[in-house]
Amino acid sequence: MTIVEGVQVDLKPEELSQAVKMLGKKPNAVEVGMIDVMWSEHCSYKSSRPILKLLPQSGPRVVCGPGNDAGAVDIGDGYVAVFKIESHNHPSAIEPYNGAATGIGGIIRDILCMGARPIALLDPLRFGSIRSPRSRWLFKYVVKGIADYGNCVGIPTVGGEVEFDESFESNCLVNVVCVGIAKRDEIVLAEAKYPGDVVVLAGGSTGRDGIHGVTFASRTLTEESEEDRPAVQVGDPFTKKLIIDATLEILKTGFVHGLKDLGGGGLTCASSEMANKGGRGIDIELSKVHLREKGLSPFEIMLSESQERMLFIVDPKGVETVTEILDKYGLSWSIPGKVTDSKNVRVFLNGSLVAEVPAKLLAESPIIERKAKKPSYIDELKKVEKPPMPNDLSEVLIQLMASENIASKEWVYRQYDHEVGIRSVVKCGEADAAVLRILGEDKGIAVSSDCNSKHCYLDPFNGGAGAVAEACRNVACVGALPLAIVDCLNFGNPEKSDVFWQFKETVRGMSEMCKVMQTPCVGGNVSFYNEDEVTKKAVKPSPVVVALGVLESLKNVVTLTFKNVGDCIVLLGKTFPEMGGSEYYYTIHQIEGGIAPKVDMKTEKRTIDLLLLAMKESYINAAHDCSKGGLGVALSLMSVKSKLGLEAELREANTENLRFDELLFSESHSRFIVTTKKANLDNLLELAKNRGVFACYLGNVISSPQIVFRYEDNEIVDCDLMEIKQAWESTIPSYMRL
């Protein structure tokens, strides 16, 4: 850290001299502070921007791509779905309750300021081992923070995921997703286009909380990070609820020309990005800003990250109407500025200029070309000897179902209101993706978030591609056509060449998959510096992907439960000996290495297309993607969820001459388990054959509570359904009963 003009900055000396050169003068303390925040990794994406360009970002359905507060896709009939993902890793790692809560608050604002009504939240979470008391503490309070905030603002939390792995021990990953819905012509952008427009700051008052939150997020956590606790903001869901209601009412007046929330970088970020996007300038008079306490310096006001604030750019004719609505909801507001044609952000205190910086300089930081070098572990970990074949595969299956990464997450989602809004057609735990209806229409959207950090660690390219593939598979499982993705890329320190290599490879894999899948990436977030200064260990690369799909009719929704005794169970897709990063290796054999599953992208796309086609033909009664825990776990889960047994003969599924444990627990991509009526079985198999997708009939749903797998008529697994259900349901509650 360097001291400039009495201000502690994170900028490197060479970045500072570049700033001086671009500015054409020596910046004062306020200006340095503004540049420092805007050029932080968190705000500027200075390391990741060149790599993110690889991702396809446009397509016929894309209404707004990256660079906006959230991505928007056309879902037909005049509607757009708006969605975005963000991380709140650092704050949550030191203050789980408020860290997670304000993460939710921030992502809701991102959707709202696009002019959309937020209708759903999802929370992909990653913690250290559940056996660690610290991880359980983080887990418990992160979930509580999400629940208390999300429940109060009245937006249902409809999905997410929880992964436990030792690499997240000191740096948990708390990602938050919000989905919104709007009519196409209601979309608003974060821009200040018309000089003379009035800047209205609404909502929470500005205080000292959260100053330097973004620079804190752009560093690795250290022992001293606990002292950064004041950099974590405090959430106020009640005010947020009023802001949502007021903002939606204000937008209806038609007087709003631009809208942006105040998140990381506070007033500095909001004003400079809006001015830059509109090609204008903004003047701010600090004495007008409504403050929580007296005596805040210009530096503090410009950098405060106090929560629940929105910045409206308003037609001067509409100021009265807008402020009346704010008054109705009892929200504070102030009019600290106006749009100018200067192209600069100018900050005044009682009329005298205290800072002047070009908006473009703030909003478009210089790029840093990072070095990427393949880490040596990648090749070393591939060389792993096959573990001995377990004697009792039934016992292994039960252990896997009980493992914390596979076990039921009901303990989590019971605490979330997942029904408010009356749009939740497919709810938590019922299928691979959540389905939300569009009120008043026979139309819906499906969303799912996915990532397998163990796969990504061993093979970042295929891990990244796999995250996209799995999210799209999950969306397809409920009958929705995947349209687009957003991503949250959680990595270690990008200044380290091996971390940056992981990052580059992951994005490359995602890009390739997105292109083949025709799901552009319409937004996202990069979170670097997720590592522990003490152990020098980075988190496993975690590219969390959220896929959004559209259902043209809600009559065609499919869930994962077996529907009828006697239904035929069919496997789509081939299984390969890809045991690296599997739950089976991790839980049963404590092996970290091996060959991680590869994604055959064309097969993946073909298989998803086939599934959707078969659904359209009404062949499919239930569908579930085959991922964590492989075929064995996927089949068992369908059984457990429907409280119906199954019998399966696996001979035909074994096209690659695998050992039984590989056949049951390999996590190969591009596979689904579906059920169909006996009368449709041949049609389904025929359709698959015509479309070039491997499909085989495994067996049937049975009424007796048993899970039986046979191989050439020999029983290799025979489990009592209730025993397996008990194992699957009790793990998380028994750990969390503190």
Q: Does 738 bind another protein (CB under 8 A)?
A: no
Tell me which DSSP letter residue 166 carries: G
Q: How far is the CB of 414 from another protein (least distance, A)?
A: 6
Q: Does 372 bind another protein (CB under 8 A)?
A: no
Find the binder of another protein among 152, 319, 349, 613 (CB under 8 A): 152
Which amino acid is present at 246? A
Q: Does 685 bind another protein (CB under 8 A)?
A: no
Could you tell me the two tokens for 141? 């309070």
Q: Which is nearer to another protein, 386 or 643 (CB)?
A: 643
Q: Please enumerate in sequence order all residues whose Cβ is within 8 A of that of 714, keeping only pairs 6 or more positions apart, or say none.
A: none
Q: How far is the CB of 603 from another protein (least distance, A)?
A: 34
Per-residue binding letters, 294-333, with another protein (x by CB under 8 A): ----------------------------------xxx---
Q: Which is nearer to another protein, 11 or 246 (CB)?
A: 246
- Residue whose pair of structure tokens reads 């709003």 in the numeric block: 256
Site for another protein in 500-559 (CB under 8 A): 554
Count, residues near another protein per rule CB under 8 A = 35
Q: How far is the CB of 415 from another protein (least distance, A)?
A: 5
Could you tell me the two tokens for 453? 């950090």
**Chain centre distance of CA 293:** 35
Q: Which is nearer to another protein, 418 or 496 (CB)?
A: 418
Q: Which is nearer to another protein, 155 or 174 (CB)?
A: 155
Write down how long the chain is.
Answer: 738
Site for another protein in 392-451 (CB under 8 A): 413-422, 424-425, 427, 430, 437, 439-440
Radius of gyration in angstroms for the set of CA atoms belonging to the chain, rounded to a whole number: 26
Parallel, antiparallel, or unpaired: how do β-strands 344-349 and 352-358 relate? antiparallel
Q: Which is nearer to another protein, 14 or 442 (CB)?
A: 442
DSSP symbols for 199-214 = EEEEESPB-STTTTHH
Find the binder of another protein among 151, 297, 399, 726 (CB under 8 A): 151
Q: Tell me the torsion sign for CA atoms 271, 272, 274, 278.
A: positive
Q: Which is nearer to another protein, 45 or 329 (CB)?
A: 329
Find the binder of another protein among 51, 72, 112, 147 (CB under 8 A): 147
Q: How far is the CB of 461 from another protein (least distance, A)?
A: 39
Q: Does 153 bind another protein (CB under 8 A)?
A: yes
Indicate the SS3 state at residue 666: coil
**Whole-Å CA distances, 495 to 44, 225, 503, 653:** 15, 20, 11, 45
Indicate the SS3 state at residue 370: coil
Q: How far is the CB of 190 from another protein (least distance, A)?
A: 26
Residues identified as active-site:
42, 88
Buried b / exposed e over 368-405, threshold 16 CB at 10 Å, is bebebeebeebeebeebeeeeeeeebbebbbbbbbbbb
Q: Which is nearer to another protein, 153 or 396 (CB)?
A: 153
Q: How far is the CB of 648 from another protein (least distance, A)?
A: 26
Q: How far is the CB of 418 from another protein (least distance, A)?
A: 6
Q: How far is the CB of 88 from another protein (least distance, A)?
A: 20
Q: Please enumerate in sequence order all residues whose Cβ is within 8 A of that of 207, keeping only pairs 6 or more positions apart, or say none.
A: 291, 292, 293, 296, 304, 306
Q: How far is the CB of 349 from another protein (least distance, A)?
A: 34
Q: Please enumerate in sequence order all residues whose Cβ is within 8 A of that of 333, keeping only pairs 6 or more positions apart, or say none.
A: 200, 201, 202, 203, 290, 323, 326
Q: Does 378 bind another protein (CB under 8 A)?
A: no
Buried b / exposed e over 207-233, threshold 16 CB at 10 Å, is bbbbbbbbbbbbbbbeeebeebeebbb
Selected range binding another protein among 235-243, 533-541, 568-576, 716-724, rule: CB under 8 A: 235-243
d(CA 197, CA 91): 35
Q: Which is nearer to another protein, 203 or 699 (CB)?
A: 203
Ramachandran region, residue 219 (left: φ > 0; alpha: ψ -120 to 50; beta: rest): beta
d(CA 556, CA 188): 33
Site for another protein in 106-145 (CB under 8 A): 144
Find the binder of another protein among 154, 387, 390, 577 (CB under 8 A): 154
- Residue whose pair of structure tokens reads 């929470």 in the numeric block: 204
Selected range binding another protein among 96-104, 146-154, 579-587, 658-666, rule: CB under 8 A: 146-154
Q: Which is nearer to another protein, 424 or 542 (CB)?
A: 424
Q: How far is the CB of 565 from another protein (least distance, A)?
A: 19
Dihedral, CA of residue 107, residue 543, residue 377 and residue 658, to nearest 10: 140
d(CA 128, CA 106): 25
Are the CB atoms for 221 and 307 separated by under 8 Å?
A: no
Residues contributing to the site for another protein (CB under 8 A) = 144, 147-148, 151-154, 236-239, 241-242, 245, 328-330, 413-422, 424-425, 427, 430, 437, 439-440, 554
